[in-house]
Structure 1
Amino acid sequence: MPDKLIYDENTASVYEKFTTMVGKVAEADETAAFLERFSSGRNALELGIGNGRVAVPLSEYGVQVEGIDNSDSMLKLLANRTDQIKAWKGDIADFNSEQRYQLVYCVYGTFTLLFRREEQIACLRSAAEALDDEGVLVIEVPVPTLHGFLRGQRISAKLLDYENTLVNVELHDSLNQNLTSTSLWFSDKSLSRSSQRIRYVYHQELDTMAQCVGLELAERWEDWAKGAFTDVSKRHISVYRRTNL
């Protein structure tokens, strides 16, 4: 498996279809509304901008949105969708920006695709350095679900609708907090395959890593509607501010 997950043209097109089916596209407007209150109508940087699922509706609030992604195919999808957003190819674990932003954000578990702790800390450090004095960093991260593994392996099948079935095969490396997964998507008469590796992170560890780079937790929610984060939440949206002002 490559060190970085990079979407090729086939995977990128499947990504668009999948995010629509699981409700992420429908959720984009709510996500943008949540983020807009931190950008104050000024500027924002998305880490892993992809096809602009969130960036486009956020820009419609009058926010000047820019973005970074490591996939030419995803950046092409974004360019085909709009010419109002500046985006460039880069590594979210190690980037420099002369521009300072009111908001830097990373959504839909993109942060966990950095499957080494050092890369995750480097990403947080780069993001903190890109913030202006009043800026915030917003990260959406899934809460790890580790039940159901047998000898480090787990197979799950999820019926998405009458024509689509997703089968997911995962390997758990508990020492490095890595999950390596291969997904098989049966859709009508077609079959798509994709693989990825993530490093899951609990919210307490994320707070500690953030503190290491001069960030402190300001808010934490279960969802973009600002539901309370509890011990049964499946994800969290965490908002960090700089401490070294």
Structure 2
Amino acid sequence: MSDDFAHNDNWASNWAPVYEKFNSIRGRVAEAEETATFLERYCGGGSALELGIGDGRVAVPLSERGVRVEGIDNSDSMLTLLRERSDLINAWKGDMAKFRTEQRYNLVYCAYNTLMVLVTREAQINCLRSAADALHDEGYLVLELLVPAIGGFVGGQKTTTTLVDHENTFVTADIHDPLNQNLVSSLLWFSGTSVRRLPYRVRYVYHQELDTMAECVGLKLSERWGDWTGGEFTEASKRHISVYRRAGL
């Protein structure tokens, strides 16, 4: 088991009990339909593989559009949530940093910054290589990632209030490791009189670096959007949806 695999498995176990509620509060459950609509265009009525399928937030609505969706995740707890939600999706436990499959897909996708939970450049490149190998010759790889926002750190540390409403408060504490492009973080979730600490670690990636890593595994950028509705990617964008194809096409 790789260190990345072990780290991500622990991460998912911590988040699984509150994952759907958290995504609902952050608007990600409502956005899943937009995501599925976007991805359907690249499936050609065929098949799709989700890396880090989680509880099926995106996979389920995509499968309801007639796409044959399969998935990989390294968390038993997340895969249990998926099975409770749908029995139509074939998903298996594995390390997305170095998976292999004989099946070839019209689309491989990795949403919601999931590539970033692989905390080394090597692991991220290995994941892209495995994804490229799993594509049909004319298939697509679609990645959703945040645009890194690493300003405001003092002494390598930063605390940010990311949400306040009538019931919940989210406070995120970050430690920045610039040499490895890592953020070691804890989300403190205050709700009523309770507080939950949800730790996580990510390796942020600039979109230019992502393009270079994709080129290393034989892929080239085809399109880049600012959101799942096809909004323009600009200098003010907080995330990007990047679409890759084989370099020879």
Structure 2 length-normalised TM: 0.95
CA distance in 2, matches of 1:123, 1:80: 27
**2:190 maps to amino acid:** F
Deviation by residue 1:168-217 (Cα, 9 ceiling, x = unmatched): 11000111110010111011122211111111000000000000000000
For structure 2, which runs of at least 5 residues remain unmatched after alignment?
none
Q: How does 1:77-116 map to 2 (within 5 A)?
A: 77-116=81-120
Deviation (angstroms), 1:10: 5.3
Could you say which residue in structure 2 is the equivalent of 1:201? 205
CA distance in 1, matches of 2:50, 2:242: 15
For structure 1, which runs of at least 5 residues remain unmatched after alignment?
none
Deviation (angstroms), 1:161: 1.2
Count of aligned pairs: 244
Question: Which range moves more in the overlay, 11-20 or 228-237?
Answer: 11-20
Could you say which residue in structure 2 is the equivalent of 1:72? 76
Tell me the secondary structure at the aligned position of residue 39 of structure 1: coil
Kindly, what percent of the aligned residue pairs are identical? 63
Deviation (angstroms), 1:80: 0.3
Does the Cα contact within 8 Å between 2:14 and 2:198 map onto a contact in 1?
A: no
Does the Cα contact within 8 Å between 2:175 and 2:183 map onto a contact in 1?
A: yes
Does the Cα contact within 8 Å between 1:21 and 1:160 map onto a contact in 2?
A: no
CA distance in 1, matches of 2:44, 2:34: 16
Q: Cα RMSD between the aligned structures?
A: 1.2
**1:11 maps to amino acid:** W
Seen in structure 2, the aligned counterparts of structure 1 residues 145 and 10 have a Cα distance that, compared at 3 Å, is: closer
Deviation (angstroms), 1:112: 0.6
Deviation (angstroms), 1:8: 5.4
Deviation by residue 1:44-103 (Cα, 9 ceiling, x = unmatched): 000000000000000011000000001100000000001000000011100000000000
Q: How does 1:182-197 map to 2 (within 5 A)?
A: 182-197=186-201
Seen in structure 2, the aligned counterparts of structure 1 residues 23 and 107 have a Cα distance that, compared at 3 Å, is: same
Q: How does 1:1-245 map to 2 (within 5 A)?
A: 3=4, 4-6=7-9, 7=11, 11-244=15-248
Structure 1 length-normalised TM: 0.97
CA distance in 1, matches of 2:14, 2:132: 34
**1:93 maps to amino acid:** A
